[in-house]
Amino acid sequence: MASDPWIGIDFGTSNSAVAYLSEGAPRLVPMEGGAPTLPTTFFFDFDTRETLMGEAANRALLDGLEGRFMRALKRVLGTSLMHEKRQILNRRVTFVDIIGSFLSRLREHTEAALGTPCTRVVAGRPVVFHGTDDAREAQAEADLRACYEAAGFAEIRFCPEPAAAAVANGAAQRAGTTGLVVDIGGGTSDFSVFRSRPDGVEILANHGVRIGGTDFDRSLSIDHVMPLLGKGSAIRAVFGPGASLAPNAIFNDLATWEMIPFLYTQQNRRKVTEMVTLAEAPERLGRLARVLEEELGHDIAFAVEAGKIAANSGGPDAAIDLRMLEPGLMAPLTAGMIGDSLADHAARLDEGAREVLRRAGLQPAEVDRIVYVGGSSLMAVVPDTLRGIFPDAQHSFASVFTAVAEGLALVAGREDA
């Protein structure tokens, strides 16, 4: 009896995909509605007691159903939050259980498409989860392995995500081409230098930094939304003269995808209510109080993401639409504003690209092609930064959303050979 086929899974911060090898070519597993990817999102419906995933989870949130929404859980790998039990829908679960249930859903889609059990996987992983030499690196991979085991996978191999993208891209390139994969996902930015050879692709060097699309969103939210909710507001002292600024912690968490579900506590609501009574500009902190009371944090995060995409596309009237908080409330957002807010991230991307070149022993002029992977690589700040380093290279945006999964399928095919 033949063994289960090996498959490739790109478990992403924002979206995930699965691919397998068929007649020597990678094929994507169709997800909901035939889509090539599945949003890496959860919604725990308090009324029906159902756990919704993907587009169903997104719809539940946008429809205003009562429940808890979660996104960007990949960024929790390696942290103490992973193994803390929390009460969700009358069950005490860990993030290993939650992520495992999502990976199990991906496996179910794959088994339905292939008509056979699938318990062997080549799983993508970022080059770094938290940072080079960070003590959490080994724990993050161990956590990810535990999630795959919880999903029912018996054999698990890991492959760096940009290396998989290089395999997908380089397999069809003429021998001798030297390229750089720039993989900007939701939570990490990974770089891989590769060289195409007649028999495939050789990875010359890998490097990664903990910057992704959710960090872009966070910076934009902190700079352009949080001031409208009271960030920087003066709070009068309870006794005597004097004032201090509203503490930044709650604004930082509200701007961070993975921290939003943990903000809606009675302690935070009481704290903000007290700040409103003592604030010199109470209307702004009043908006923050409404966010906590009505649990609008993810609505704001989606609005920031939508405004970012619109401004990046060159829309003349792009803005972050905050009308869910107050009629007519908008935060203007231009390409120039995005550039200013993301300048520090651009500098780190520049450093990351130059570091992987150093590790490969190459100069910028020796790189022929730049291959962009991940939806966040479409942000202008990314190619603008890389073109500054590699002005003479060819810059390619083919298969931005699916190259990693397709490359993992090719690697998985070797396991089956």
Residue 1 has pLDDT above 50, yes or no: no
Residue from 160, 205, 186 nearest 374 by CA: 186
Whether 26 and 166 map to the same domain: the answer is: yes
**Domain termination site, one of 341, 364, 379:** 341
Answer whether residue 347 is part of any domain.
Answer: no
SS3 content of the chain, % helix, strand, coil (to 5): 45, 25, 30
* pLDDT confidence of residue 202: 83
Whether 146 and 218 map to the same domain: the answer is: no
Residue 238 has pLDDT above 80, yes or no: no
Domain of 94, in residue numbers: 6-174+400-416
Better-scored residue on pLDDT, 167 or 219: 219
pTM: 0.82
Contacts of 329 (CB under 8 A, 6+ apart): 228, 287, 322, 323
* pLDDT confidence of residue 255: 97
Per-residue pLDDT of 11-70, as tens digits, reads 999 999 999 999 889 999 999 999 999 999 999 999 999 999 999 999 998 888 999 999
The answer to whether 246 and 230 have CB atoms below 8 angstroms apart is: yes
Residue 2 has pLDDT above 70, yes or no: no
Which residues are bridge partners to 234 per DSSP? 245
Domain count of the fold of the chain: 2
Whether 306 and 409 map to the same domain: the answer is: no
Q: How confident is the model at residue 187 (pLDDT cuts 50, 70, 90)?
A: confident
Answer whether residue 350 is part of any domain.
Answer: no
Structure tokens at 311: 């401004």
Secondary structure of 161-177 as H, E, C letters: HHHHHHHHHHCCCCCCC
Answer whether residue 321 is part of any domain.
Answer: yes
Rounded to whole angstroms, the Cα distance separating 111 from 347 reads 43
Q: How confident is the model at residue 3 (pLDDT cuts 50, 70, 90)?
A: confident
pLDDT mean over 374-384:
94
Whether 164 and 250 map to the same domain: the answer is: no
Here the CATH number for the domain that contains residue 157 is 3.30.420.40
Whether 50 and 163 map to the same domain: the answer is: yes
Q: How would you classify the pairing of strands 178-184 and 369-373?
A: parallel
Whether 106 and 18 map to the same domain: the answer is: yes
Whether 160 and 18 map to the same domain: the answer is: yes
**Domain termination site, one of 325, 341, 357:** 341
Residue from 39, 56, 160, 151 nearest 104 by CA: 151
* pLDDT confidence of residue 118: 96
Say how many Å lie between the first and final Cα of the chain, rounded: 16
Whether 140 and 219 map to the same domain: the answer is: no
Residue 6 has pLDDT above 80, yes or no: yes
What is the CB neighbour count within 10 angstroms for residue 355? 16
Whether 12 and 159 map to the same domain: the answer is: yes
Per-residue pLDDT of 113-156, as tens digits, reads 999 999 999 999 988 888 778 889 999 999 999 999 999 999 99
One-letter amino acid of 319: A
Whether 218 and 167 map to the same domain: the answer is: no
**Domain termination site, one of 290, 321, 341:** 341
Q: What is the mean pLDDT of the chain?
A: 92
Whether 39 and 144 map to the same domain: the answer is: yes
Structure tokens at 183: 């993989």
Whether 170 and 224 map to the same domain: the answer is: no
Rounded to whole angstroms, the Cα distance separating 415 from 417 reads 6
